[in-house]
Amino acid sequence: MTDSNQISLDAEDEAFGINDRFVDEVLEAVENGDSVALSTMFDAVHPADIAHLLEVIDGRSRKELLSLWKGGLDGEVLSELDENLREEVINSLAPSELVDAVRELDSDDVVNLVEDLGSEQQEAVLDALDASDRVAVEKALAYPEESAGRHMQVELVRAPQHWTVGEAIDFLRSDDNTLPDQFYHLILVDPRMKAVGYVTLGRILSTRRDVPLNDISEDSFRTFNVNQDVEEVANAINHYHMITAPVVDDDDRIVGVITIDDAMAFIEEEAEEDLMRLAGVGEGSLSDKVVDTTRQRFPWLAVNLVTAICASLVISMFESTITELVALAVLMPIVASMGGNAGTQSLTVAVRALATRDLTSSNVWRVIRREALVGLINGAIFAVVMGLIGAVWFGQPMLGVVIAVAMVINLVVAGLAGTMVPVVLEKIGVDPALASGAFVTTVTDVVGFFAFLGLAAAWLL
């Protein structure tokens, strides 16, 4: 790893994570086959950091490390790992190691771990669980992939609504072994197990024993159905600053919770997905194989090729115009490129606003008008600039006028298309992040070349 001495990307004041020196030390221990040093080094390291280390080292080192570190890998590391590496790492474990690793995990982490595994591996993990845990995991796997039921944690603490603070404390003290690792609320239930409210542990601890839980429950209480989209639940957790979101079945009985730390991961994932889709990258990550990455990027490039050919067809309509005035060929990419960029600006804002619900039916027409107006103003400014440049560069004032007018037209169109395309895609149920870019670029390319070359043909020749 002499390379690592040349480029250092580590910030000075890291709040978390592993640094290059640690990675180098680990790689050295792997090279020396020193499993004792490795275990010692990993002893005080958080599972999330070990997972991250496995992601940044190359495949060969990863394989050697895992075979040296026999038995050391715990379940937390597996559940922190990038999905595309999980299968590889799980495959490298002996069945008994896998059993040890998953046994300590919460139900939602096990589900998350096994849902993408092949059926043989899945069976091996399920066999490792206690009967009751296994039932919980299998139940969760029966819910749709992106549902709250699939991602909820079944470990939770509920209390009958008629209990007092004292009764709740006695219950919590008596019953240690069934409590989840982390919990921050008691969920109040009626005799039919219907969730009716919740009490924070802070309120319980600061209240006298004889006070009924009902008197200190939180004002606002929301529940979410098992079939609801888990990203919606995560967004609600963020929106309402909740710590735990209770998940209920169709009869309003409490069956699990989505916790804020999982919600945070979903929200980060969602924003990242939007970004990756807008750039046409798909679901990729750096630890994917070259062939996978090539395949992920291919469709977007293929779509772009079709788009570019459409634009070329427009140009070819004006071949004779270009032959007469080759300056047009020099200037035409400028109009198309400015339109493409302005369109990308508008569509990025629109796609995000749709995702965060800032763009709704109540303001969609206002937003479209606004974007067109922004395009008109910026278009006018750049029209003047580029008109002057065009006129001076080629000594033809009328060429300046042509590029100026084409620029205004294309930037207004960019604003309109950049907003309307995502809105229409959302309306017909297509993910706007995924498809807007291709449509908008096609529009701005075609309009850009057509306006510029068409006006040139009409006014200059």
- Positive or negative torsion for Cα 350, 354, 356, 357: positive
Using the Cα atoms of residue 100, residue 102, residue 103 and residue 105 in order, give the sign of their dihedral: positive
Give 288-296 contacts, CB < 8 A, sequence gap 24+: 288/84, 292/84
Write down the least CB distance from residue 127 to its own copies, Å.
Answer: 27
Closest approach of its own copies to the CB of residue 267, in Å: 6
Q: Which two tokens stand for residue 395?
A: 């000594």
Cβ(437)–Cβ(280) below 8 Å: yes
Give how far Cα 119 sits from Cα of 101, 124, 139, 152, Å. Answer: 18, 9, 16, 22
Nearer to its own copies, 16 or 251 (CB): 16
Q: Give me the helices (H) in 143-256, please.
A: 148-151, 165-174, 201-205, 230-239
> Is 128 or 339 the residue whose CB approaches its own copies more closely?
339
Is there a contact between 347 and 295 (Cβ–Cβ < 8 Å)? no
Q: Which is nearer to its own copies, 126 or 184 (CB)?
A: 184
As a whole number of angstroms, the distance between CA 192 and CA 219 comes to 22
Beta-bridged to residue 353, according to DSSP, are none
Task: Please state, in angstroms and rounded to a whole number, the distance separating the CA atoms of residues 277 and 155.
Answer: 35
Q: At its nearest, how many Å lie between its own copies and the CB of residue 123?
A: 29
48-64 per-residue burial string, b: 16 or more CB within 10 A, e: under 16: bbbbbbbbebeeebbee
Between 124 and 242, CB nearer to its own copies: 242
What is the residue-wise DSSP string for 274-314? HHHHHTT-TT--TTS-HHHHHHHHHHHHHHHHHHHHHHHHH
Among 150, 461, 156, residue whose Cα is nearest residue 319: 461
CB of 119 to its own copies, least distance (A): 30
Q: Which residue in 368, 360, 347 sits closest to 274, CA to CA?
A: 347
In this complex, which beta carbon is closest to its own copies, that of residue 29 or of residue 93? 29
How far apart CA 285 and CA 276 sit, in angstroms, is: 10
Min dist. Cβ of residue 120 to its own copies (A): 30
Nearest distance in Å: CB 450, its own copies? 13
Phi-psi category of 17—alpha, beta or left, where left has phi over 0 and alpha has psi -120 to 50?
left
Q: State which residue, 134 or 212, has the beta carbon closest to its own copies.
A: 212
State the nearest-atom distance from the C-beta of 138 to its own copies, in Å.
25
Could you give the CA distance from residue 204 to residue 206 in angstroms, rounded to a whole number?
Answer: 6
Nearer to its own copies, 40 or 96 (CB): 40
In the complex, minimum distance from the CB of residue 380 to its own copies, in angstroms, rounded to a whole number: 10
Q: Closer to its own copies at the Cβ: 119 or 220?
A: 220
Shortest separation between residue 238's beta carbon and its own copies, angstroms: 5
Is 37 or 172 the residue whose CB approaches its own copies more closely? 172
Name which of 3 and 120 has its Cβ closer to its own copies. 3
- Min dist CB 351 to its own copies, Å, is 9
Q: What is the DSSP string of 105-138?
A: S-HHHHHHHHTTS-HHHHHHHHHTS-HHHHHHHH
